[in-house]
Structure 1
Amino acid sequence: MNAIYPKPVRQFSFSCCLFLMALLANCQSTVPFVYTGKKMKGVNLVAPPQKPNDSTLMALRADNGTWVAVVPYGFCKKDDPHFYWHGNPPPGERRMGQWWGETPEGIAGTVAMARAQGLKVMLKPHVWMMGGSHLDLAFDKEADWQSFETDYRGYVLGNARIADSLKVDLFCITTELDKFSMARPDFWKTLIADVRKVYKGQLTYAANWDRFAQIPFWKELDYIGVDAYFPLDDAKTPSEKAMVRGWKKPMAELAELSGKHQKPILFTEFGYRACDHAAEKPWESETDCQPNPTAQANAYAALTAAVWPQPWFAGGFVWKWHMNERHGHRERDMFSPQGKPAEVALKKMYGGE
């Protein structure tokens, strides 16, 4: 054999084989993902202070909606290594002074109202940080990390048990704790494994639009969740055509991540205020708002045209939808499409597949 196949030829052939294997592996990792399920046509519900009627859920059904996200907040303070929720009130207090929709009773009641309208449910815990942004939650001391993680683990697992007891269709393990997620990946991977022990349904996580590619545990989940507040255009009243162009870069990044992990992309939040410059910094909620319902409706139409047909797209949840007749008109509430031209655009979006 050595006389027929000299050593240099064998080495060359082996190198070629390695090259071809690497090339094949690379090709396989970039195969586009194709989602074959039904798209989720959802909204993020604003937890009501008292038990509401279900008239706005009836309106959502009429708008072709099929899902709601129930959002029970928990609370912390900047640089405080403790977390508080209905199952863990602050020291000296018997219970949290939370709105009805954020309590276990309210969660169960909201789920029942949604089911009565034929709507599916995602339970989506969310952090409200006082004095800072939950996006940048972090600690310098290991003891503080561990203290916070003990509390937060209780919050997530408590909600996972509620989700399982109510047979909720999808559980979002948390919302936009991206810096925490990147700093403590082992904690999150263990937590996800523990959630799977108590909740039988599918899982996602809601990553912020500018950090979704850096989340270290997508392979542990069923959906890649993204809060899709991508900047698309800086015009006062951006056109649908301009915003469709603005979607090109984020869509390429989303498609790449979906192909890498072979998982669907779910917009755990998407929305625009009915204000001037609605698509310049869609995440802003506290800045001044010059009312502009056309800008909001155009942004919905652009998402319908650009994102909705993508093969990797599993649907999304509008931010936000009020569960009462009085939706409010404060600037921070201008995200809701209810009673605006954007609701007509949403109905058209949700009417298609």
Structure 2
Amino acid sequence: MSAIYPNPISQLTCVACLFICLVASCQHQPPYRHTGDPIRGVNLVAPPRKPADTTLQALKALGGTWVAVVPYGFCRKDDPHFFWSGNRPPGERRGGQWWGETPEGVAETVQMARAQGLKVMLKPHVWMMGGSHLDLAFDKEADWQTFEADYRGYVLGHARLADSLKIDLFCITTELDKFALARPDFWKQLIIDVRKIYKGKLTYAANWDRYDKLPFWSQLDYIGVDAYFPLSDDKTPSVKAMVRGWKKPIAELATLSTTYQKPILFTEFGYRACDRTAEKPWESETDCQPNMEAQANAYTALYEAVGPQPWFAGGFVWKWFMLERHGPRERDMYSPQGKPAGKVLQRTWSK
């Protein structure tokens, strides 16, 4: 019998037709509509020492309903080892980690939140010394495997903690998008393994400029975005100007939500009380000329533009201090505490 070879042109035509059908199917999906209560949350700064048990009363009075507890782990640029409270460098004393980042501190912070009727997201985060966690990558396979073994222990350890504390939402990690794109199989399997341990809802905090490229949204309950979108380069941008600036991000977020039929959660959003706060909202180390009006306008514009979107599940402000005195560092300008931006949140959250 003579061999029958498939026609390559016909094969290509079939593949093209399949692709067109898939695209058409996505286009005909209805927009996703989130039906739950909006999350009105803040990212807590893990304190170095235990705060007063009443520390979160001010957030509750503002109308907040959630907190994100953020226990950091640490690495050094180009070093394939990762350290956290359960995996310390040789010779480091146990006291090296801040109270709020230890399992004991996390558990007590959760208790403080629940005493105020607040729900909790646990949100592990990487601090890279000598570089940015956004660019975490390795050239050698052996280094990747070393880091993945450590990082897997970090994430699964916090998944166990989240399950034992009955945490409401677990964010598996924050802004390791380059890592996720380079090693998708690791992340897909990690999510499967987290699901075996933790029975609650899952998300991942993706950076604003890469969230649409990540390969695992279908495995999660929320599409998590750290929403530092550039909106305006004005010194004191008006609400109207920033609402216009939101148009393109809103259209792109809506498309992704429709494609996956999932709500979008702003795992972080925030603006410094500085000139040009909406030009590069992610920058925390640049010079800051104080500008309370710019920050308040940015919060107002976000809730005016994004708040009514059917896919919007709410979000977590960056950031909120649990201690009354937290020092004069420039990055503290993100906090809305005691500023006009806090009044904006109170008006919005009390509706």
Instruction: With the length of structure 2 as denominator, give the TM-score of the two structures.
Output: 0.93
- What's 1:91 paired with? 90
| 1:241 alignment partner in structure 2 | 240
Deviations 1:296-317 (A, max 9, x none): 0000000110001100000000
For residues 48 and 20 of structure 2, the distance between their equivalents in structure 1, rounded to whole angstroms, comes to 61
CA distance in 2, matches of 1:322, 1:186: 36
Partner of 1:122 in structure 2?
121
**C-alpha distance in 1, partners of 2:86/2:22?**
51
Q: Which runs of 5+ in 2 are unaligned?
A: 1-16
Amino acid corresponding to residue 259 of structure 2 in structure 1: K
> 1:150 & 1:71 partners in 2: Cα distance?
21
TM-score normalised by the chain length of structure 1: 0.92
8 Å Cα contact 2:46-2:101 kept in structure 1: yes
Partner Cα separation in structure 2 for residue 234 and residue 346 of structure 1: 23
Q: Does residue 222 of the first structure (1) align with residue 208 of the second (2)?
A: no
1:136-173 deviations in Å (ceiling 9; x for gaps): 10000000000000000000000000000000000000
User: 1:6 corresponds to which residue?
Assistant: none
1:166-181 maps to which residues of 2 (within 5 A)? 166-181=165-180
In structure 2, the partner of 1:288 is 287
| Amino acid aligned to 1:328 | G
Partner in structure 2 of residue 25 of structure 1:
25
The aligned counterpart of 1:161 is 160
For residues 179 and 256 of structure 2, the distance between their equivalents in structure 1, rounded to whole angstroms, comes to 20
Distance 2:335 2:225 in 1: 19
For the 8 Å contact 2:26–2:259, the answer to whether it is kept is: no
The aligned counterpart of 1:11 is none
Alpha-carbon distance in 1 for matches of 2:306, 2:22? 32
| Residue identity in the other structure for 1:331 | E
Aligned residues of 1:55 and 1:324 also touching (Cα < 8 A): no
Unaligned runs of 5+ in 1: 1-16
What is the rounded CA distance, in whole Å, between the counterparts of 2:310 and 2:321 in structure 1? 30
Count residues in correspondence.
Answer: 336
Deviations 1:98-153 (A, max 9, x none): 11000011000000000000000000000000000000100000000000000000
Shift in CA distance, 88/23, structure 1 to aligned 2, threshold 3 Å = closer
Match of 2:50 in 1: 51
State the Cα distance separating 1:27 from its structure 2 match. 3.2
Greater CA drift, 189-198 or 342-351: 342-351
| Aligned partners of 1:56 and 1:322 also within 8 Å | no
- Contact kept, 8 Å, 1:236 with 1:276, in 2: the verdict is yes
Distance 1:146 1:61 in 2: 43
Partner-residue secondary structure (3-state), 1:346: helix
SS at match of 2:283: coil
* Partner residue in 2 for 1:194: 193
Aligned to 2:301: 302
| Alignment correspondent of 2:67 | 68
Any conservation in 2 of the 1:89–1:96 contact (CA below 8 Å)?
A: no
8 Å Cα contact 1:86/1:96 also seen in 2 = no
| Paired amino acid for 1:336 | S
Amino acid at match of 2:271: Y
Q: Distance in 2 between matches of 1:182 and 1:23?
A: 22
Tell me, what secondary structure is at the counterpart of 2:334? coil
Cα 1:93–1:234, aligned 2, differ >3 Å: closer, same or farther?
same
Q: Is the 8 A contact 1:54 1:323 kept in 2?
A: no
Decide whether the 8 Å contact of 2:65 with 2:118 is kept in 1: yes
**Structure of larger gyration radius:** 1
Give 2:342's aligned residue: 343
Kindly indicate whether the alpha-carbon contact (under 8 Å) linking 1:41 and 1:66 is maintained by their aligned counterparts in 2: yes
* Alignment deviations for residues 44-76 of structure 1 (CA, whole Å, 9 cap, x no partner): 000011100144410111111000000000000
Structure 2 residue identity aligned to 1:59? A
